[in-house]
A and B are shown apart, each in its own frame.
Chain A
């Protein structure tokens, strides 16, 4: 598949994806069951769930965190991410 972009910016330049706080996570797998975009992956070992494909995450989506009882999922700041996207667009002179 062609490289994905968000508003013309290559997706891998936008740091938007969930971060799991392993002190809080109970590995209930609600988030992974919910998200259809294969962002998470289940593993053997102590960390049974990891963010394996961060660039699959839909920019500005936070839906999985709303399924997480222990509130273990966090995201970057939206305003900072928006500022960064605009900055990159200016650099690329996207019109």
Chain B
């Protein structure tokens, strides 16, 4: 499939200038179409064809995520996302404060483009899931106003950050709760963790994104990432449709389950947390 690339304009920030540079260089390197965010906003029909034929690369300068917010109003599938301010942090070098890019900004832009191109040519493969689980059938239900939040009665353990773990043969499958799924609304992007990454309990297992928020997946367990759900990468709506089943996210080979287990909540205790959170809203 062809690609189209949409970035913020970011004209008032150095990170925005990097986003713009990344967009131009990526389009040059791959022959992709550039989607101008201002024109898209004024005359969306102009890009209808390009968007229906391409998968989208979205580049934001800062956490205001203007390009992402624009993209969520489109029907397009988002294949990759870049947040320049995160890339700056990851590089360990502060960005020059000028709007015309200096050598540091230009190097960063090229690094981002190289990685994007590399990933498109060799997408991360989700290993086969290790665990074989049956979908839960019995739920606790927390009601608040017109909302109902379901929590499986057995087998699932939770952290207070609305992430569940289900364990079988030394592997935990991880996903988000029904409550969090409803809070995020339609999930548009799953940034999966790297295969073989080592994660501590309460560390990060990638993130989810919707029009409303970016959600860090906070690891309920410690261990090694052995699989992530490729079907969810292709179709994040599965998370909203079936958060405890087909919408699972990651599998982690456990390194210290007895320890981790002590710091997790059983379904009844998690139901109390959901009640409290829902009441605060």
Contacts and interface: CB of A to CB of B under 8 A. Distances in A.
A11 to B, nearest CB: 10
B213 interface: yes
B184 to A, nearest CB: 10
Contacts of A82: 200-202
A60 B63 contact: no
Interface of A: 1, 4, 6-7, 30, 34, 36-38, 56, 58-63, 65-71, 78-79, 82, 85, 95
A66 B202 contact: no
Contacts of B214: 63, 66-67
Given A60-B161, A71-B85, 4 more contacts: A58-B161, A63-B216, A66-B214, A79-B200
A63 B215 contact: yes
Contacts of A7: 262-263
Contact of B160 (A1, A59, A66, A70): A59
Contacts of B277: 36-37, 58
B64 interface: yes
Contacts of A79: 200
B132 interface: no
Given A7-B262, A66-B213, A82-B202, A60 B218 contact: yes
Contact of B62 (A34, A60, A69): A69
B145 interface: no
A72 B160 CA distance: 25
A10 B116 CA distance: 45
Give the interface SS of chain B, mostly helix, strand, loop or mixed.
loop
A62 B203 CA distance: 12
B216 A69 contact: no
Interface residues of B, number: 22
Contact of B203 (A36, A65, A78, A85): A78
A69 B8 CA distance: 12
A67 B64 CA distance: 6
Give the interface SS of chain A, mostly helix, strand, loop or mixed.
loop
A78 B202 CA distance: 8
A36 B263 contact: no
A67 B280 CA distance: 20
B280 A36 contact: yes
12 contacts: A7-B262, A34-B213, A36-B277, A36-B280, A36-B281, A37-B280, A60-B161, A61-B161, A61-B218, A66-B214, A67-B64, A69-B62
A1 B201 CA distance: 29
Contact of B63 (A4, A38, A65, A85): A65
Interface string B188-218: 0000000000001111000000000111101
B213 A68 contact: no
Contacts of A65: 63
Contacts of B213: 34, 63, 66-67
A56 B63 CA distance: 23
Interface string B253-281: 00000000011000000000000110011
Contact of A71 (B62, B218, B280): B62
Nearest to A70: B62
Given A7-B263, A37-B277, A82-B200, A58 B216 contact: no
A68 to B, nearest CB: 5
Interface in B70-122: 85
